């Protein structure tokens, strides 16, 4: 299958200023939002109400909080949808007995689920081989855990909210009590400060990093350990509780494991 892409005309200015970029592949549009870089306190702690990122519902593995700086990058406005997955990959990612279905969530604007980390890697690799994308010096990837959390918090526009876009989980997230036990279409809940949807709830999202516990060290553009056994997932999902939809919550799993509450969101860099 020969893929082509249309890229929004004014999206790639000569000075590489940071603005959103819209793509069309196989008739399916998706938007990458620019995130201006900055420094933030990553993680959460439940031991001292007077210190940064206090959250009485935080787990021990969300701490210690630590200073992280990231450069400018792009992140998907939404999770990768079933229509985009089919446009790029030509079919569904799982065996016949795990096809997308009405019971778990089916539709062009429903996020692609039953995605392993390895599946997401294959999708990204295929995107990066599209001639128009290569010629524009664009590189798609998954976000690092630090990039994911910075974007989830709203980047430089963060209001310090508990969930991505609100302190009221029902405003922004599909989780166990309200999801009707299924994945929901994108953009049915409110976006966060950066205009990103479903970063709390709906599906857990794979990140680039191998999982490890945090340290208190200040970091610049961290990407996790060089190797490991389990990759990071973030964001909560339709069959987990509101506590697991908090911005700082962390999950990890084997990169070959796919489940009906695992999906992913693209990140993107433009090479100067």
Residue 8: is its pLDDT beyond 90?
no
Residue 95: is its pLDDT beyond 80?
no
**Partners of residue 76 on adjacent β-strands:** 32
Q: Where are the alpha helices (DSSP H) in 167-230?
A: 169-172
Mean pLDDT of 253-266: 96
Residue 14: is its pLDDT beyond 70?
no
What mean pLDDT is reported for the chain? Answer: 93
Q: Which residue has the higher pLDDT, 4 or 44?
A: 44
Can you give the pLDDT at residue 16?
45
Q: Write out pLDDT tens, residues 130-142.
A: 999 999 999 999 9
DSSP for 183-201 reads ---TTSS---TTS---SSS
Residue 12 and residue 8: Cα distance in Å, rounded? 8
pLDDT band at 51 (very low <50, low <70, confident <90, very high): very high
**Domain extent for 250:** 5-270
Instruction: Identify the three-state secondary structure at position 112.
Output: coil
Mean pLDDT of 225-251: 98
Can you give the pLDDT at residue 39?
98
Q: What is the DSSP letter of 69?
A: E
- Which whole-number Å values give the CA distances from 71 to 38, 43, 131, 151, 192, in the listed order? 7, 18, 26, 12, 20
Indicate which CATH number applies to the domain containing 40.
3.90.1580.10
pLDDT band at 120 (very low <50, low <70, confident <90, very high): very high
- As for how many domains the chain has, the answer is 1
- Residue 177: phi and psi, rounded to 5, are -75, -20
Q: Write out pLDDT tens, residues 143-200.
A: 999 999 999 999 999 999 999 999 999 999 999 999 999 999 999 999 999 999 999 9
Structure tokens that stand for 244 in this block: 């697991």
Can you give the pLDDT at residue 3?
82
pTM of the model: 0.95
The DSSP H or E segment spanning 86 is helix 82-89
Mean pLDDT of 98-111: 92
């Amino acid at each position: 299958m020969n893929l082509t892409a249309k890229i929004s005309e004014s999206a790639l200015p000569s000075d590489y200023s940071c603005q959103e970029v819209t793509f069309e592949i196989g008739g399916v549009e998706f938007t990458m939002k620019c995130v201006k870089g900055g420094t933030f306190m990553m993680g959460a702690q439940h031991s001292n109400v007077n210190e940064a990122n206090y959250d009485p519902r935080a787990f021990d593995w969300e701490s210690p909080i630590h200073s992280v700086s990231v450069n400018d990058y792009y992140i998907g406005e939404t999770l990768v949808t079933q229509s985009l997955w089919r446009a790029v990959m030509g079919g569904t990612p799982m065996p016949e007995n795990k096809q997308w279905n009405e019971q778990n969530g089916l539709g062009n604007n429903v996020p692609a689920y039953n995605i392993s980390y390895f599946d997401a890697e294959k999708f990204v690799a295929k995107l990066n081989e599209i001639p128009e994308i290569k010629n524009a010096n664009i590189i798609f990837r998954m976000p690092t855990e630090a990039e994911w959390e910075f974007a989830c918090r709203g980047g430089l526009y963060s209001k310090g909210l508990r969930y991505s876009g609100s302190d009221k989980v029902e405003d922004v997230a599909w989780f166990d009590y309200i999801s009707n036990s299924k994945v929901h279409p994108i953009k049915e809940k409110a976006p966060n400060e950066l205009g990103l949807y479903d970063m709390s709830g709906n599906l857990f999202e794979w990140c680039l990093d191998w999982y490890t516990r945090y340290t208190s060290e200040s970091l610049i553009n961290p990407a996790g350990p060089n190797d490991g056994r389990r990759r990071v997932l973030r964001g909560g999902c339709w069959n987990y509780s509101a506590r697991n939809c908090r911005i700082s919550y962390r999950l990890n799993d084997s990169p070959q494991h796919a489940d009906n509450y695992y999906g992913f969101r693209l990140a993107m860099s433009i090479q100067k």
